Structure 1
Amino acid sequence: MQELPNLDTIDKIAQLIADSTFLPEEYQNNPANIKYAILMGHEFGLKPMQAVKNIRQHIQTDGELGQVYVATPVLLAIIRNSGVCEYIEEYFDSEKEVATCRCKRTDSQEVIERQFKVSDIPEGTYANYDFPMQHPDRYAQSKARSHALYDAFPDIVAGIEVADVVENISYPTSPSTEIPLEEFARD
C-alpha cells in the first residue's frame, strides 16, 4: 500500500483543488469531502486524484447528498490488485441477453458466478440516467460483475458501494470515457 500523505498535505491538496470546476459537483468548494475521498481512496490503494475522480457521492433528486460510491472499473481494479484474486472472467451471451461474471480467490476452491439478464433492467427508474437503456449489455455486465465481486471478495469490498448497484444514480462514466485499469495499479 502506498504511504499516506500527512494530514497537512491532504489539507493543502483539498484546499488547492476545491475551487476547481473540473471537480464533480459534490466536491466543488468542499475541501472536507475531498479529504474524505482521498483518505477513503488510500484505503483501497488509489492515488489522491484517482480517489477524487472516482469516489463520488450520489446527489438525490431533492438535492440532498446520498450514498458514497465508486465507479465499477475502480472496484475491479481494487479486487485485481488485492493479492487474493486468482481470476475474473466476464462474458455476454447475446442470444440469451445474459451477462456472466465468474471469479475465484487464491485462498478458496469456490468459483463464484453471477448472472444478470437484460430483461431484469427495470424500465423508467433511472431519472436522468439513460445508460441502462442505451447500453443494456454493458449495464448487465456491470451488474453481474458487481454482484460477483461483492459475493467473492466481501473482506475487500468492505462496504464499498458501486455505482451500478446504487439504483437511480447518474453514473458519470460512459463507455467511451472509462479509465483503463492500468491507471489504477498500485505503486
Structure 2
Amino acid sequence: MGNLTKTTGFALAPQNLEQAMQLATMICNSQLAPNNYKGKPEDTLVAMMMGHELGLNPLQSIQNIAVINGRPSIYGDALLALVQNSPAFGGIQESFDEDTMTATCTVWRKGGEKHTQHYSKDDADTAGLWGKQGPWKQHPKRMLAMRARGFAVRNQFADALAGLVTREEAEDMEKEINPTPAPQAQSKRIGQKQSRTQYSESDFNENFPKWKAAVESGKKTSEQIISMVSTKGDLTQGMIEAIESIEAGEPA
C-alpha cells in the first residue's frame, strides 16, 4: 500500500489519491465495513474524504458517515457529537411532546441567542414520511427527534458540519435522476445491462410482508433477502435496515 503517515492511535493517513483508494478498497472489502460500504470503494473514499474534513480517521468516517444517493450524510448522534466538539458550541436542549407527537430541539452558540426547531407528526405526514416502511414505521419518535435536531443544528452550526445533512434526512430525499449518457457512453453499453435504478418504494411495501414471513419461518435470512432484492434494484439504507430488523427481532 506504500508508506502511510501514522496519526493518533492506529489511524493511517494516505498521502495521495492512489493510496487513499487502496485504503478505501481494503476497508470496503473487510468484515468491519458496514453493509452500505461493502464492495463500494468509491463511496468509501467519499466518506473518508468528508470525514477527514471533520477530523475523523478513516474507520470513524465509515462508521459515522453514509453516502446516500451520492451525497455524504452523517448519523444523527454523530452530528451532535461534531457540534458539541465545536469551540462555538453553547448548549442544546431536546424534548418530545407525546400529546402532539412533536419533537423540539433548541441549540445555541456561545454568546448567541437560542434557536428552536420543531418537527411534528403533522410535518412528517405532510412530507409523505409518516408510516413509511423502514425507520419511520419502526422508530417514528426517534425519526421526528432526528429531523428536529438536524434542522436546528444545521441552522446554527453550518461551519462545523461542512454542509452535511443527517443520514435520516438524506434517505428521505428523492433519488437524483442520472442525466442521459453521452452517445459514446451509450455505444459502450451495447450488450451490457443498463444502469441500475433504485428499488421502488411501492414494490418494497408490497413484498416486505412476504420477506418477513420467510425470515421468521427460517426459510431465508435477512442477508439472503437483501442479496436477492438487490439484484432487482438498489436498496436505500432504510430498506436495508428494515429487512435486517426482521432477523434482529426489532418491532416492525
SS in 2 for 1:69: strand
User: Is it true that 1:56 corresponds to 2:66 in the alignment?
Assistant: yes
The equivalences for 1:10-159 within 5 A come to 10-58=20-68, 65-106=69-110, 108-122=111-125, 125=129, 129-159=133-163
Q: How far 1:7 sits from its partner (Å)?
A: 2.3
How many angstroms apart in 2 are the aligned matches of 1:11 and 1:164?
27
State the TM-score, normalized to the length of structure 1. 0.74
Which runs of 5 or more structure 1 residues have no equivalent in the other structure? 59-64, 178-187
Q: How far 1:57 sits from its partner (Å)?
A: 1.7
Closer, same or farther: CA 30–140 of 1 in aligned 2, 3 Å: closer
**In the comparison of the two structures, how many residue pairs are matched?**
167
More strand by share: 1
How many angstroms apart in 1 are the aligned matches of 2:129 and 2:97?
25
Larger radius of gyration: 2
Choose between structure 1 and 2 for higher RCO, CA contacts under 8 A separated by at least 6 residues.
1
State the TM-score, normalized to the length of structure 2. 0.57
Q: How far 1:109 sits from its partner (Å)?
A: 2.3
Closer, same or farther: CA 126–99 of 1 in aligned 2, 3 Å: closer
Q: How far 1:92 sits from its partner (Å)?
A: 0.5
Which runs of 5 or more structure 2 residues have no equivalent in the other structure? 1-6, 174-235, 246-252
For the 8 Å contact 2:105–2:117, the answer to whether it is kept is yes
- Percentage of pairs with the same residue: 28
What is the alpha-carbon root mean square deviation over aligned residues? Answer: 3.0
Amino acid at match of 2:38: Q
Q: How far 1:125 sits from its partner (Å)?
A: 4.9
Q: 40-49 vs 10-19, which deviates more?
A: 10-19
User: Is it true that 1:6 corresponds to 2:14 in the alignment?
Assistant: yes
SS in 2 for 1:27: coil
